[in-house]
């Protein structure tokens, strides 16, 4: 099977859905002529024209307001928020309008809106352009939240999100854009709400998503080679809806759970995952307390050495796995 980058997979998903459904259009800051801040939408303007690939003013509130109105009238907008940090600039449109409209109108209108948002640290973009805001978004009923870790899932999940009649926030960790993976050329989707077991194991479970999946797999391989212990790595893929059955089944199977994410720990999504395990029958199978390994409770530093130190690394994940086995 061919290998393409994460960015190319997202571009393919956008192009295929634009061809498939004339109601789909794409807009955001510098997404047309410039091709997007990370080059993801390069070439789309030439194929689909300025009516369907639209540059917008530098106003996230305006972008979200236009998208909500368009979705309510039967279109299927996909918008790019240049950095996920800037969803804070359009929270009213996203959280008070997009998330609630279908419910408050008794299902009389759909809200087929996708918000693509590059997220996370590692690019030297400092505190205002490097956050992982998934916990802010997951707290709002009515929003679906996706965080793919591979090119295959990025394409399949984005296509599923565009076809969904509910608002979906699609978080793309920026360092993943250049990573490569196998992606089919045929049309396919990855269902929202289904986790993927990336590595089978029997001694402990790692719950993770996004950029941390690769680091957790690397740490698990190191643990197997050096300690003879097998860690199961569960890639959540979709945070809302969460595949609770997969989380609980894996915790019950191994009896030990480590939760790893890049976002800061306090109020992070890992707390919800810990509560899911503790509130299920998997609790009675646990041989140790559920542990979290998360980003530090600090703004992301600009200095590259400091920036690298405030999120989980392969070394720190491996150390946490060993500690959990004791």
* Catalytic residue (choose from 129, 152, 203, 261): 129
CA distances from 134 to 7, 127, 190, 196 (A): 20, 16, 20, 19
Query: Token pair of 194, please?
Result: 């289904």
Smallest CA-to-CA distance from 138 within 146, 129, 130 is with 146
CA distances from 190 to 24, 194, 308 (A): 19, 8, 31
Smallest CA-to-CA distance from 6 within 131, 151, 106 is with 151
Query: Token pair of 210, please?
Result: 């996004």
Backbone phi and psi for residue 305, each to the nearest 5 degrees, phi listed first: -70, -45
Tokens 């918000």 appear where? 115
In terms of C-beta density within 10 A (0-12 exposed, 13-18 middle, 19 or more buried), how is residue 137 classed?
buried
Residue 197 CB contacts under 8 Å (≥ 6 apart), including other chains: 232, 233, 234, 235, 246, 250
Q: Is 203 labeled as catalytic in the residue annotation?
A: no
Other Cβ atoms less than 10 A from the Cβ of 293: the count is: 25
Query: Token pair of 133, please?
Result: 């805001």
Residues 211, 173: contact at Cβ < 8 Å? yes
Residues belonging to the active site: 129
């Amino acid at each position: 099977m061919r290998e393409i980058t994460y960015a190319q997979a997202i571009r393919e998903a956008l192009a295929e859905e634009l061809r498939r459904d004339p109601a789909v259009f794409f807009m955001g800051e510098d997404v047309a002529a410039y091709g997007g801040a990370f080059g993801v939408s390069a070439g789309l303007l030439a194929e689909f024209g300025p009516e369907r690939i639209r540059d917008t003013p530098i106003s996230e509130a305006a972008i979200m307001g236009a998208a909500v109105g368009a979705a309510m009238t039967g279109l299927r907008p996909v918008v790019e928020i240049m950095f996920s940090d800037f969803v804070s600039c359009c929270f009213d449109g996203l959280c008070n309008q997009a998330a609630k409209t279908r419910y408050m109108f008794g299902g009389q209108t759909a809200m087929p809106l996708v918000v693509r948002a590059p997220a996370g640290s590692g690019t030297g973009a400092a505190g205002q352009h490097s956050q992982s805001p998934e916990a802010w978004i997951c707290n709002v009923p009515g929003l679906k939240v996706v965080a793919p870790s591979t090119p295959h899932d990025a394409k399949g999940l984005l296509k599923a999100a565009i076809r969904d009649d509910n608002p979906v926030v699609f978080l793309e960790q920026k360092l993943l854009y250049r990573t490569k993976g196998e992606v089919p050329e045929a049309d396919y989707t990855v269902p929202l709400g289904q986790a993927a077991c990336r590595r089978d194991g029997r001694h402990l479970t790692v719950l993770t998503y996004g950029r941390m999946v690769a680091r957790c797999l690397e740490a698990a391989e190191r643990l197997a080679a050096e300690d003879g212990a097998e860690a199961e790595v569960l890639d959540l893929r979709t945070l809302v809806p969460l595949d609770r059955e997969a989380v609980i089944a894996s915790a019950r199977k191994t009896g030990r759970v480590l939760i790893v994410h890049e976002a800061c720990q306090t109020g992070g999504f890992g707390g919800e995952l810990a509560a899911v395990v503790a509130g299920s029958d998997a609790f009675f199978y646990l041989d140790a307390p559920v542990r979290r390994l998360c980003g530090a409770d600090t703004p992301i530093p600009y200095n590259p050495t400091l920036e690298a130190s405030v999120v989980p690394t392969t070394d720190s994940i491996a150390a946490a796995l060993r500690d959990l086995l004791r």
